[in-house]
Structure 1
Amino acid sequence: IEIKRPLYQHWAIYVGDGYVIHVTDEGASSITLSSSSICATRAKVKKELLMEVVKNHKWHVNNKYDRSRTPRPVEEIIRRAEQWVGKEVPYDVLNRNCEHFVTELRYGEAVSHQAKKAVVGGASAIVGTTLLGVAALAGIALSGSKSKT
């Protein structure tokens, strides 16, 4: 289940009877900024009603990786997810987030497109800003050398 939040997408595994299992920073230790997963270093695996997790956000079933990966049998996914409930796990927004948790359970491989996109986007922004800065400096240098002649 992909839940559309304002700045990111939250991911959970649907396990039946209206419940999902997901990784959340709520109730976990080592959180620098409460209710913001960006600074969390630990997270808690919880089983909660889908509608309580979703609140007023939009959500949909998203098995987008099924095109490139083979999902485990549903019973195995649910069994593995249930084993994590109540446990605290390491958390890192770019390397061990809720999407990584869900894809590890479903496919046996932790993948997060949004984290990858954030890293690539962040790197692009840095490169773009650097190039803009170099161009500005070059323009200043050229205008300075023209005014001296």
Structure 2
Amino acid sequence: MADGRGHPQPGDLIEIDRKVYQHWVLYVGDGYVIHVTDDEGAPSFLGSSSSVSAAMAKVKKQLLKEVAGNHKWRVNNKYDRFCTPRPVEEIIRRAERWVDMEVPYGLLTNNCEHFVTMLRYKVGVSQQVLKALTVAAGALLLLLL
């Protein structure tokens, strides 16, 4: 595994560092994760030109080492401070139901982080989208001044 931090447990959220974004997956055990991808298996957040323009993405179950590749990853259940996770068995059961299904995809409202947080907490959240929108709003404000 590439620079993994922590020992993932079933139901954990894993954040994988990419060049300009983080790809989020849900650990389901035995080295496997479930995540939102494009048709070729690339992470659906600027992973390929088709994932940016497509309105649909696929849910896949793959080995964490294949999804992470040479990128650093870490267990990151950061929303546990604010939200109560579902029971682990329920998280895994719900995640497994999505495998091989197509799901709506949108950078701002239905990305990989939204998907895995919805499975773990019942609500989809993406802090990286909030950060990007804050930076964009700040840049716009500077242009207007």
TM-score normalised to structure 1 length: 0.81
Q: Partner residue of 2:37?
A: 24
> What is the identity, as a one-letter code, of the residue corresponding to 1:128?
L
- Rounded Cα–Cα distance in structure 1 between residues aligned with 2:75 and 2:39: 23
Displacement after TM superposition at 1:27 (Å): 4.1
Give 1:29-68 correspondences, 5 Å limit. Answer: 35-36=48-49, 37-68=51-82
Point out 4+ residue stretches in structure 1 off by more than 2 angstroms. 36-40
Gaps of 5+ in 2: 1-13
Q: Partner residue of 1:120?
A: 134
% same residue: 65
For the 8 Å contact 1:11–1:102, the answer to whether it is kept is yes
Task: Considering Cα pairs closer than 8 Å and 6+ residues apart, tell me whether 1 or 2 has the greater RCO.
Answer: 2
Q: Partner residue of 1:101?
A: 115
Give SS of 2:91's match.
helix
> What is the identity, as a one-letter code, of the residue corresponding to 1:94?
L
Distance 1:7 1:40, change over 3 A: farther
Gaps of 5+ in 1: 132-149
- Confirm or deny that 1:10 pairs with 2:23: yes
- Rounded Cα–Cα distance in structure 1 between residues aligned with 2:73 and 2:81: 20
**Whose helix proportion is higher, 1 or 2?**
1
Q: Partner residue of 1:73?
A: 87
Give SS of 2:73's match.
strand
Which protein has the larger Cα radius of gyration, Structure 1 or Structure 2? 1
Give SS of 1:22's match.
strand
Number of aligned residue pairs: give it.
128
Displacement after TM superposition at 1:34 (Å): 7.3
CA displacement, residues 46-104 of structure 1 (integer Å, 9 cap, x when unaligned): 00000000000000000000001000011100000000000011100111000000000
TM-score normalised to structure 2 length: 0.83
**Whose strand proportion is higher, 1 or 2?**
2
For the 8 Å contact 1:20–1:49, the answer to whether it is kept is yes
